[in-house]
């Protein structure tokens, strides 16, 4: 069994020109500034990547983010999936605007482990100044992080504190919990480029699941399929990459233009694009702005930057430090999972104002100030696995969730879903329609009530009819459901003695068709007609009670009654046959086939002294009833079977 290696992602943060890139190079020997423009200007523009060697040969990834306020979008793209934040503050400057904004962003992304590197200590000879800066930093960290944080004084020029800082980072990596494993892998893409001789390459932090060379994958939200040709972790070729690692993947069948930062590479059919997200939204306690309902914001989710409208569920606006349930309605599709963190910045002015956590990545459109909807938000945020699964099944009537859908919508692993389904079934909270399709008892009650209304109305207007056809009921009751679902529902109705199904028609179990004197007279005459004509029956359209203004209704009810009693047999749209002649016709076929040769249509027609159309209708009826089987130009009997009556 392959063991998951120890890994973690360290991300730098801090104001421009406070020495983040220089510090990373001193710790790892890797210069993360790779662009000519970065070399020329002396500042980081795009995210850079390095790795820190760990004891035992493992490596931790390092993402070096830009500190300039103009490139905050790049910083946000690099901060998803961080395990440890290395906040860099220059001793000669102290806390600066981007120090605070970066720290706010890290807190919104729920980063738990921090270490502060107080850089450029060689430029400050005044110990009192260093103590003052240190106290300010500790006060800031405690207000934002709500905990004591290690602060190490360093100087790249003199080497002060570098060994201590490196050792402390290694310790924090060792303390970091293993990343979420999961059955499916997910990689938000932060870089796309082309290598000559290899093709398209993407990089990112593997958030969950493991990915293997040769595996098929999908680009979301576009849905484009691809195959993983090669994998590298920290520039080293591997066959398998694990969650928590910085990964480069060489993809087949794609051009660079097919992809962009913000896309997500993931296991096939593991994600669903959405234009809405249900979230818990919090505004920073230091925000000078409120977030009003309907406000347009920049949403930073994974490596994606999107425009979204904020719809507050139970508030008119949120002030500094306040929190609320909300729905984010996106201008473009995105993919996410429950528990993903996000950040919002105002469209104008461009400042970070808040963020939060995704509660439902496939929501319905929500209405505001509805107590039931608020309770559902609470269940998604804090509910047990049973409560979340029940909500996932009951919230979307008419969709009839299967196990695969429930794993995604309830954000539970397959084992949890199966166990929860078993418990909810035992408690009769949900009802299985098939081994993996379920309905909530509340929806079952509603469908039962609706079914009774439909049938009662039909019986009132058609008292002599057996009831509507199964297809008619299905189209009115559950028009979007699969046939296996409707069959299961009809079976449950019958088992509960609510309905009866005869001749492909459904009626209430308490209902019996009523035949009046006029109808009864026509039924007698109709049966006598088919007995007289034998194997040369009239076309159905030619049969009507002459002179009766209700001939169509009478004909329909009479045929239905005779069919229900089994005295007439339906052959096709054109012909019926009396049961006496149907049985004789079947025996006649078996007698002809006794010679061992297939019976042709012509032979059968002549033996009955009927028309070719009637002979074909009879033989096709036998085929449908599995009484005969085609053999060459003719038919043979399939063997002794109970006669199946069809309509």
Count the Cβ atoms, other than its own, within 10 Å of residue 633. Answer: 10
Q: Please check whether residue 15 is in contact with residue 98, taking contact to mean a CB–CB distance below 8 angstroms.
A: yes
> In the prediction, which pLDDT does 626 show?
86
Task: Delineate the domains of the chain, giving CATH numbers in brackets.
Answer: 9-175 (3.40.50.300), 186-267 (2.40.30.10), 274-372 (2.40.30.10), 517-637 (1.10.10.10)
429-455 pLDDT, tens digit each: 999 998 888 999 999 999 999 999 999
> In the prediction, which pLDDT does 289 show?
93
**Is 70 exceeded by the pLDDT of residue 67?**
no
**Is 50 exceeded by the pLDDT of residue 642?**
no
> In the prediction, which pLDDT does 647 show?
32
The listed range with the strongest mean pLDDT (6-15, 127-136, 413-422, 527-536) is 127-136
DSSP state at residue 497: T
Return the SS3 of 413.
coil
For the chain, give the mean pLDDT. Answer: 87
Q: Which residues pair with 61 in a beta bridge?
A: 9, 51
Give the mean pLDDT of 186-202.
90
**Is 60 exceeded by the pLDDT of residue 394?**
yes
The number of helix segments (H) and strand segments (E) in the chain equals 18, 31
Return the SS3 of 440.
strand
**Is 50 exceeded by the pLDDT of residue 547?**
no
The listed range with the strongest mean pLDDT (296-300, 485-489, 633-637) is 296-300
- The encoded tokens of residue 627 equal 């009484």
Give the mean pLDDT of 559-563.
79
* C-alpha span between 403 and 437 (Å, rounded): 7
Of 75-79, 303-307, 314-318, 415-419, least confident by mean pLDDT is: 75-79
Give the mean pLDDT of 180-192.
86
- Please count the residues of the chain: 647
Please list, in sequence order, all residues whose beta carbon lies within 8 angstroms of the beta carbon of residue 253, skipping any fewer than 6 positions away: 225, 226, 227
> In the prediction, which pLDDT does 65 show?
77
For the question of whether the overall pTM of this predicted structure is more than 0.85, the answer is no
233-247 pLDDT, tens digit each: 988 899 999 988 889
327-386 pLDDT, tens digit each: 999 999 999 999 999 999 997 788 899 999 999 999 989 999 999 999 999 999 999 989
**Is 50 exceeded by the pLDDT of residue 489?**
yes
13-66 pLDDT, tens digit each: 888 888 888 998 899 888 876 545 545 455 555 677 888 888 877 788 888 876
């Amino acid at each position: 069994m392959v063991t998951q290696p120890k890994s973690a992602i360290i991300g730098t943060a801090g104001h421009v020109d406070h020495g983040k890139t220089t510090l990373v190079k001193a710790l790892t020997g890797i210069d993360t500034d790779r662009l000519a423009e970065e070399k020329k200007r002396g500042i980081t523009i795009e995210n850079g990547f390095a790795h820190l060697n760990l004891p035992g040969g493992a490596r931790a990834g390092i993402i070096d983010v830009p500190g300039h306020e103009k490139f905050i979008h790049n910083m946000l793209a690099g901060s998803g999936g961080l395990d440890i934040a290395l906040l860099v503050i220059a001793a000669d400057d102290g806390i600066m605007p981007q120090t605070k904004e970066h720290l706010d962003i890290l807190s919104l992304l729920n980063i738990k482990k921090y270490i502060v590197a107080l850089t450029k200590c060689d430029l400050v000879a005044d110990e009192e100044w260093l103590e003052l800066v240190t106290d300010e930093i500790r006060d800031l960290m405690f207000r934002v992080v709500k905990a004591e944080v290690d602060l190490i004084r360093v100087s790249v020029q003199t080497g002060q504190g570098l060994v201590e800082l490196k050792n402390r980072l290694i310790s924090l990596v060792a303390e970091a919990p293993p990343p979420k494993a999961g059955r499916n892998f997910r990689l938000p893409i932060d870089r796309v480029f082309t290598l000559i001789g290899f093709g398209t390459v993407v990089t990112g932090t593997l958030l969950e699941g493991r990915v293997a060379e040769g595996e098929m994958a999908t680009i979301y939200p576009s849905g484009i399929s691809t195959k993983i040709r090669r994998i590298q972790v920290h520039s080293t070729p591997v066959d398998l990459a694990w969650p928590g690692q910085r990964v480069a993947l060489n993809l087949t069948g794609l051009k660079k233009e097919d992809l962009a930062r913000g896309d997500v590479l993931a296991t096939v059919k593991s994600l669903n694009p959405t234009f809405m997200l249900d979230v818990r939204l919090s505004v920073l306690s230091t925000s000078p702005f409120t977030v009003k309902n309907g406000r347009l914001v920049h949403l930073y989710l994974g490596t994606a930057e999107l425009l979204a409208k904020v719809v507050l569920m139970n508030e008119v606006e949120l002030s500094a430090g306040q929190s609320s349930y909300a729905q984010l309605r996106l201008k473009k599709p995105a993919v996410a999972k429950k528990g993903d963190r996000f950040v919002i910045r105002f469209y104008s002015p461009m400042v970070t104002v808040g963020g939060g956590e995704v509660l439902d990545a496939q929501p319905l459109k929500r209405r505001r100030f509805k107590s039931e909807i608020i309770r559902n938000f609470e269940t998604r945020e804090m509910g047990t696995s049973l409560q979340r699964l029940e909500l996932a099944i009951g919230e979307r009537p008419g969709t009839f969730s299967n196990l695969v859908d429930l794993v995604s919508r309830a954000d539970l692993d397959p084992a949890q879903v199966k166990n929860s389904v078993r418990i909810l079934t035992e408690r009769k909270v949900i009802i299985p329609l098939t081994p993996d399709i379920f309905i909530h008892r509340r929806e079952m009650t509603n469908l039962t009530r609706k079914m009774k209304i439909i049938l009662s109305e039909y019986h009132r207007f058609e008292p002599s009819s057996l009831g509507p056809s199964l297809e008619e009921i299905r189209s009115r009751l559950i028009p979007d459901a699969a046939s296996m679902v409707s069959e299961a529902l009809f079976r449950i109705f019958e088992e509960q003695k609510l309905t009866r199904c005869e001749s492909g028609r459904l009626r209430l179990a308490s209902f019996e068709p009523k035949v009046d004197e006029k109808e009864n007279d026509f039924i007698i005459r109709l049966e006598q007609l088919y007995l007289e004509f034998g194997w040369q029956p009239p076309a159905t359209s030619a049969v009507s009670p002459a002179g009766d203004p209700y001939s169509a209704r009478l004909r329909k009810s009479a045929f239905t009654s005779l069919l229900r009693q089994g005295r007439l047999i339906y052959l096709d749209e054109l012909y019926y046959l009396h049961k006496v002649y149907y049985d004789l016709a079947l025996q006649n076929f078996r007698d002809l086939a006794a010679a061992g040769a297939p019976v042709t249509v012509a032979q059968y027609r002549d033996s009955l002294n009927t028309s070719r159309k009637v002979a074909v209708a009879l033989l096709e009826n036998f085929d449908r009833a599995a009484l005969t089987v085609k053999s060459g130009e003719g038919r043979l009997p399939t063997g002794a079977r109970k006669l199946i009556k069809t309509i």
